[in-house]
């Protein structure tokens, strides 16, 4: 007996450029709808008879509108905007990754940009025709390359591990702390690993600190004023995890007062509620010359979403044939 064709609703704007590839990979006969994700009413209407919702967002209202939903599939790692208790019992929630390569490229390039002073030199040359280099201005500081750097990882999952592989290629040294403390230092070529209880030691020892922890009740505000004060005055902080893991007030103050050398911030404290415009925090980070600001774009490359499309469509094919799904993170109670 052949199962009825599935109805799939895609409400993630990042997949729209790959619409042809996405639909081609689905089982024959699958009905696919692409409502505008910005219009809640359009999404709710589309999912009324859907079997699958592809989106990192599913509100209680959206869940109530879905009468036969069997799978909510995020087109990324985050499922915190999916109201799992509101879903019908048995609805599966899955995610996908493949952003680690892009995030690793961002992390290494941002570290080099900040550590070598390229951001400062760019501004000086462009705005003032000032050659901010010791070859022309003896007051300019000498930069240091990554062979002289110790990189400290706060979190060492698939993102941290991939970042470290690239840093290794430049000759850097690495250390890491995680919540569980179960990372094998020797296996990864790290100098040492520990738990978050060793965070102070890591901060004191690092020239660059890479934050890639998820946001939980235990990690919110993990790095505050006391922790930032333990960093070296020329150290760089790179946050590619979640903004509130680093306390906003403390970070702004540390950057303003030059307690730390600088920061590359890709994850923020405020996001656009609608459209593409929003101040990313309550403090004017944009006025600081020791900050690289990017709009949560470190993992956003075409290659990332090509791989995610393959994961999602493969799971939809499994759903159609009754096979167990991959990357299931929750099942609605």
Helix (H, G, I), strand (E, B) or coil at 116: coil
Domains 7-98+302-331 and 100-293 share a fold: yes
Neighbouring-strand partners of residue 152: 175, 209
Q: How would DSSP label each residue in 68-106?
A: S--EEE-SSS--TEE-GGGSPTT-EEE-----HHHHHHH
Question: Residue 128: exposed, middle, or buried by beta-carbon count in 10 A (0-12, 13-18, 19+)?
Answer: exposed
pLDDT tens, residue by residue, 157-173: 999 999 999 999 999 99
What do you get for the CA distance between the two ends of the chain, in Å? 29
User: How confident is the prediction for the chain on average, in pLDDT?
Assistant: 96
Look at the pTM and tell me if it is higher than 0.85.
Answer: yes
pLDDT tens, residue by residue, 260-288: 999 999 999 999 987 899 999 999 999 99
What fold characterizes domain 7-98+302-331? Answer: Rossmann fold (3.40.50)
Quick check: 82 and 54 in contact, CB under 8 A?
no
> 100-293 maps to which CATH number?
3.40.50.720
Judge whether residue 22 has pLDDT over 70: yes
pLDDT tens, residue by residue, 57-116: 999 999 999 989 999 999 999 898 999 999 999 999 999 999 999 999 999 999 999 999
The region, left, alpha or beta by phi > 0 then psi within -120 to 50, assigned to residue 296 is left
- Residue 231 and residue 262: Cα distance in Å, rounded? 11
Structural domain spans, the chain: 7-98+302-331, 100-293
Q: 1 pLDDT band (50/70/90 cuts)?
A: very low
């Amino acid at each position: 007996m052949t199962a009825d064709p599935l109805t799939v609703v895609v409400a993630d704007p990042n997949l729209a450029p790959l619409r042809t590839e996405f639909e081609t990979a689905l089982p024959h006969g699958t009905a696919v709808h692409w409502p505008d994700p910005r219009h809640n009413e359009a999404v709710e209407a589309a999912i009324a008879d859907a079997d699958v919702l592809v989106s990192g967002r599913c509100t209680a209202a959206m869940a109530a509108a879905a009468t036969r939903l069997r799978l909510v599939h995020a087109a990324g790692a985050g499922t915190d905007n999916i109201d799992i208790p509101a879903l019908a019992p048995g609805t599966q929630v899955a995610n996908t990754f493949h952003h680690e390569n892009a995030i690793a490229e961002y992390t290494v390039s941002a570290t080099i940009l900040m550590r070598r002073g390229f951001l400062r030199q760019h501004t000086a040359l462009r705005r003032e025709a000032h050659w901010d280099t010791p070859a022309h201005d003896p007051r300019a500081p000498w930069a240091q390359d990554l062979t002289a750097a110790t990189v400290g990882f706060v979190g060492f999952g698939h993102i941290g591990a991939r970042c470290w592989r690239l840093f290794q290629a430049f000759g850097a040294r690495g250390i890491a702390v995680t919540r569980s403390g179960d990372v094998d230092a020797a296996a990864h070529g790290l100098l040492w690993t520990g738990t978050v209880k060793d965070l102070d030691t890591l901060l004191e020892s690092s020239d660059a600190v890479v934050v890639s922890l998820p946001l939980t009740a235990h990690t919110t505000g993990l790095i505050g004023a006391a922790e930032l004060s333990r960093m070296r005055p020329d150290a760089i902080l790179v946050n590619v995890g979640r903004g509130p893991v680093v306390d906003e007030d403390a970070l702004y103050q540390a950057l303003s007062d030059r307690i730390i050398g600088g920061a590359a911030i890709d994850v923020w404290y405020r996001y656009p509620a609608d459209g593409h415009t929003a101040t990313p925090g309550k403090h004017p980070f944009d006025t600081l010359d020791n900050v690289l600001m990017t709009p949560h774009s470190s993992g956003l490359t075409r290659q990332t979403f090509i791989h995610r499309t393959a994961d999602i469509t493969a799971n939809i094919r499994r759903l159609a044939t009754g096979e167990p799904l991959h990357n299931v993170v929750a099942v609605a109670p």
